[in-house]
Amino acid sequence: MSTIRQLLDSQSRALMAAGAVVVAAAALWITSDYRDWITFGTGGTPSNPKGYLKMRKFWFKRLFINNDDLTDGSSLPDEGPSYLPGYVTPRRGGRPERMPRTLPHRQKPEAIDAKSKKVLHHLGSKLQSEHPDILNLAPSKTEGGTGDAIYAKEDLPTLNPKAKQVAYEIAHVHPADNSLHVHLSPRDAKMLIEKSWAERFPVHELGPPQWVMVYAPRNKEEVDLVEKIMKAAVGWVTGVTI
């Protein structure tokens, strides 16, 4: 009996030691991941432990429940209004790598020259200053006020009823990676997804299917395309073609 008890005690101590190692390793990983998340920027999610748990909850849900392909636009219609002018060529080099976290919804940063980057980050204010009768510029509600966004004026007679789905927000640029979130017509959203220029938002309950991430431009030509995309979004949300 003594030998059996000693064996059981030994096994118990080994299991406890192994459990302690697993817990310590998990704690180190979570701490490191939390710091990386804060450093990169948390978007519209509060930058605190509660926000981190919220982000991980959505990540878990996508991993085991809604693990659909965000680059598949087949659920969006081929018909309906389109506001993009002319033909859009596929994105050179295909899609960028995505950041692994569900929120914030971002890609891995890619190089862009300083002049083009400056133009990109002033597109919102440029469009608003050119069309103050239909657009407002204000901190992005969907990004927790971490950057500016263009909004449709809520009293527009031509306003699309679907504008309420994202609090009248039309588009914003992300400082961390130069990508954008844009509210496009379903047809335009589908076309950009098929051309490897965009993907759907990963948290279905936080945005409609046509609320997409447009990948970061890398030069002047691609910034010009992004401006056309933002103008197309203005047309869809406000009902006014610019």
pTM for the model: 0.85
Which sign, positive or negative, has the C-alpha torsion 28, 30, 31, 35?
Answer: positive
Rounded CA-CA distance 98/77 in Å is: 25
Q: What percent of the chain has pLDDT over 70?
A: 88
Write down the pLDDT at residue 224. Answer: 98
- Between 1-5, 39-43, 177-181, 204-208, the lowest mean confidence (pLDDT) is in 1-5
Write down the pLDDT at residue 36. Answer: 77
Write down the pLDDT at residue 142. Answer: 92
User: In terms of domains, do 45 and 140 share one?
Assistant: no
Domain with residue 204: its CATH number is 3.30.1460
Rounded CA-CA distance 48/55 in Å is: 11
User: In terms of domains, do 126 and 60 share one?
Assistant: no
If pLDDT is split at 50, 70 and 90, which confidence band does 45 have?
confident
Write down the pLDDT at residue 56. Answer: 84
82, 187 Cβ separation under 8 angstroms:
yes
The pLDDT tens digits of the residues spanning 112-162 come to 999 999 999 999 999 999 999 999 999 999 998 888 999 999 999 999 999
140: left (phi over 0), alpha (psi -120 to 50) or beta: beta
The conformation of residue 160, written as its DSSP 8-state character, comes to -
Q: Is the pLDDT of residue 15 over 80?
A: no
User: In terms of domains, do 47 and 145 share one?
Assistant: no
For range 61-76, the mean pLDDT: 86
213, 201 Cβ separation under 8 angstroms:
yes
In a domain, 90, yes or no: no
Render 20-37 in DSSP notation, one character per residue: HHHHHHHHHHHHHHHHHH
In a domain, 203, yes or no: yes
In a domain, 7, yes or no: yes
The conformation of residue 202, written as its DSSP 8-state character, comes to S
Domain hosting residue 41, numbered range = 2-64
The pLDDT tens digits of the residues spanning 200-241 come to 999 988 899 999 999 999 999 999 999 999 999 999 999 999
Based on the structure, what is the number of domains in the chain? 2
- The torsion angles phi and psi of 98, rounded to 5 degrees, stand at -95, 150
User: In terms of domains, do 118 and 198 share one?
Assistant: yes
If pLDDT is split at 50, 70 and 90, which confidence band does 181 have?
very high
What are the E-state strand segments in 75-118?
Answer: none
Write down the pLDDT at residue 126. Answer: 98
Q: Which domain-ending residue is among 64, 81, 106?
A: 64
The residue with greater pLDDT, 119 or 68, is 119
Strands 135-139, 148-152: parallel, antiparallel or unpaired by DSSP? antiparallel
If pLDDT is split at 50, 70 and 90, which confidence band does 102 have?
confident
If pLDDT is split at 50, 70 and 90, which confidence band does 105 have?
very high
In a domain, 165, yes or no: yes
Encoded amino acid at 133, one letter: D
Q: Which domain-ending residue is among 27, 49, 64?
A: 64
What are the E-state strand segments in the chain?
Answer: 135-139, 148-152, 169-173, 180-183, 198-200, 211-214
Q: Which domain-ending residue is among 28, 49, 64?
A: 64
Write down the pLDDT at residue 46. Answer: 82
142, 163 Cβ separation under 8 angstroms:
no
Q: Is the peptide bond before 104 cis (omega within 30 degrees of 0)?
A: yes
112, 219 Cβ separation under 8 angstroms:
yes
In a domain, 69, yes or no: no
